[in-house]
Amino acid sequence: MPGYRNALIAGGGACLAILGSSLLATASLAQTSRSSALAEGPGRETVEVVCATCHPVSNIIASSGYTRDHWGELVAPMIALPPDARARVLDYLAQHYPPSHNPRPSTLVSGPLQVSFREWVASQPGQRARDPVQARNGDIWWVGQRSNTIGRIEARTGRMREWLLPANALPHSVNIDARGGVWYLGNGNGTIGKFDPATGEAREHHMPDPNARDPHTGEFDRNGIFWFTLQISNMIGRFDPRSGEIRLVTIATPGARPYGIRIDAQGNPWVACNGSNCIIRVDPRTMALTEVRLPGERTHARRLDIASDGTIWYVNSGLGKLGRYDPRTGAIKEWDSPSGPNSHPYAIAVINDIVWYNESGVRPDPLVRFDPKTETFQSWAIPSGNIHAGIVRHMRATRDGNLLLHQDSTNRIILATLPPAR
């Protein structure tokens, strides 16, 4: 039912009209198969139609549960529902998935430092707001992957505005070039796009290989070259905005799933492997790949960042650890994350040589600080109203040394003001 699905994702009048007339219809076989583990009870069919359209219902089953009011707070930024459908969904969820039905408590490490958070909530329900980045003028840009939008928070006024991108772009990330140009990765249609806020239009550059389907995360190097990953396609790409040339290279390890990417002081891109126990160095001239094996077969390094001394810090999502690789010596060291082996560290940023990352597998989601000099942790619950399952998937430093992150389940863009550097 592609038309029905698109209306649901839109979250607007079309969604309300369709739901108002046909939401009680029995779910399709495909939806039912994805929802077979849901608890039996009145309202299950409605939840199957509404929730399984955009994400697996395993997200519900694996949640730590909420009260009816708090389920309502979580659902509201996902989709606009007519009152009767909303009531059925919330009644069902509150009865069968109440608070702590599946507890995964985080371990928050107390300490002397303070972090404050400022939140913005994107307007379109269900857009999966993600990957905020700050421009030179202080504006904050983000993308709405499910709503096919790009958004901006004006630094001067705090005004939020969103624009629609070309059909099926389904943007995954956004970057700002040295001249202030706004670029996004079209994860859904295999493109790199440049967006012009003055006209509201985007110019797309398509992948030269049909197998390169899902541009994921990217970074500009000091020469203006844009390096990017293609996770499911198992590729790494190089894009020259001046010529429009795109070059691609396939990773030798099958299913490595290249994910996060950063560029070191020498101009070498480094890539984290979400599907294998490796990180990869890319030769910027030849695009030759050097894979570095990390310890542990279940190790998966979703993202990484680079300290001022050139050491590579990575999150070991598979084993719940924080890791460091020294390219000069080949030494690798890992530390257990405070919430344990199932904490699933996800995003990471190194700011003033302090390591910041989040734990996404526990509740509430913590922001974790690690000081390499003392090898000590401190952590804070990331705010998201009464919801504790926002999932931070990327974080980046601001120009003044603070931290931008997001919670895509709650459509939140978050600015964390960090302790002063010592």
pLDDT digits (tens, 9 = 90+) for 287-297: 999 999 999 99
pTM of the model: 0.89
Per-residue pLDDT tens over the stretch 194-212: 999 999 999 999 999 999 9
Section 323-328 average pLDDT: 98
Domain count across the chain: 2
pLDDT of residue 28: 35
Instruction: Assign residue 132 the CATH number of its domain.
Output: 2.130.10.10
Do 272 and 398 lie in one domain? The reply is yes
Per-residue pLDDT tens over the stretch 237-276: 999 999 999 999 999 999 999 999 999 999 999 999 999 9
Do 14 and 79 lie in one domain? The reply is yes
Considering the domain boundaries, does residue 259 fall inside one?
Answer: yes
Output the CA torsion sign for 351, 395, 175, 411.
negative
Per-residue pLDDT tens over the stretch 330-346: 999 999 999 999 999 99
Greater model confidence, 370 or 422 = 370
Has residue 5 got a pLDDT over 70?
A: no
Rounded to whole angstroms, the Cα distance separating 89 from 85 reads 6
pLDDT of residue 387: 78
Considering the domain boundaries, does residue 67 fall inside one?
Answer: yes
Q: How many contiguous H segments (helices) and E segments (strands) does the chain have?
A: 7, 28
User: Of 36, 68, 96, which closes a domain?
Assistant: 96
What percent of the chain has a predicted confidence (pLDDT) above 90? Answer: 77
Has residue 18 got a pLDDT over 60?
A: no
Has residue 33 got a pLDDT over 80?
A: no
pLDDT of residue 7: 32
pLDDT band at 36 (very low <50, low <70, confident <90, very high): low
Q: What distance, in Å, lies between the first and last C-alpha atoms of the chain?
A: 56
pLDDT of residue 10: 37
Do 350 and 398 lie in one domain? The reply is yes
Range of 232's domain?
116-417
Q: What is the mean pLDDT of the chain?
A: 90
Considering the domain boundaries, does residue 111 fall inside one?
Answer: no
Q: What are residue 88's phi and psi, to 5 degrees?
A: -65, -45
Per-residue pLDDT tens over the stretch 160-191: 999 999 999 999 999 999 999 999 999 999 99
Do 315 and 188 lie in one domain? The reply is yes
Greater model confidence, 388 or 309 = 309
DSSP string, 323-352: EEE-TTT--EEEEE-TT-TTS-EEEEEEET
